[in-house]
Amino acid sequence: MKAFVVDKYNKKGILRLAEMPELKLGDSDVLVEIHAAAVNLLDSKVRTGEFKLILPYSRPFILGHDVAGKVIRVGSKVRRFKPGDEVYARPRDGRIGAFAEFIAIDEADVALKPSNLSMEEAASIPLVGLTAWQVLVERAKLSKGQK
């Protein structure tokens, strides 16, 4: 599998295109062929090492927190998805890797892609959408009917 990897923490470093080992699919995992990935500030901060104390990835590692693609295979315990489903996701910390051809994501972190969105549009939503939800619902306590 080809992927863009981080070899060392570096503010000016570039990502290296590399051949990575085949992904292992867990019982609750969905294997997604990546069609689009978004780049956000979190990816930049992980690449420079700003979060290495709380997100200690072993190098080389694959960046990418937002992804959209098509389900290729599912683990034995997966019930919500099947091969061919178009999905989008924000993989949990420790399982990132959207800057690659494929990614294995826990079923709980995946959603069906809305049919009215392109893959690129869907990939741009997960982390920023989660952030907006947390601010509006969890912090501001916005409720149904409020604007």
Tokens of 147: 């604007």
Adjacency order of strands within the sheet including 102-106 = 102-106, 29-38, 66-74, 86-89, 110-112
Residue at 43 is within a domain: yes
Tell me how many domains the chain contains.
Answer: 1
Per-residue pLDDT tens over the stretch 13-50: 788 899 999 999 999 999 999 999 999 888 889 999 99
Residue at 96 is within a domain: yes
Burial of 87 (0-12, 13-18, 19+ CB in 10 A): buried
CA distance 22 to 72: 14
- The partner residues of 68 in beta bridges, in order of sequence, read 36, 88
CA distance 85 to 140: 34
Give the model's pLDDT for residue 124. 96
Q: Which amino acid is at 33?
A: E
Per-residue pLDDT tens over the stretch 51-89: 989 988 888 999 999 999 999 999 999 999 999 999 999
Tokens of 64: 């990418």
Domain hosting residue 72, numbered range: 2-139
**Radius of gyration of the chain, Cα coordinates, nearest whole angstrom:** 16
Give the model's pLDDT for residue 85. 98
Token pair 């990939």 is found at 123
Q: Which amino acid is at 55?
A: L
Q: Where residue 17 sits, what CATH number does that domain have?
A: 3.90.180.10
Residue at 145 is within a domain: no
Q: What are phi and psi of 124, to 5 degrees?
A: -80, -5
Per-residue pLDDT tens over the stretch 76-134: 999 999 999 999 999 999 999 999 999 999 999 999 999 999 999 999 999 999 899 89
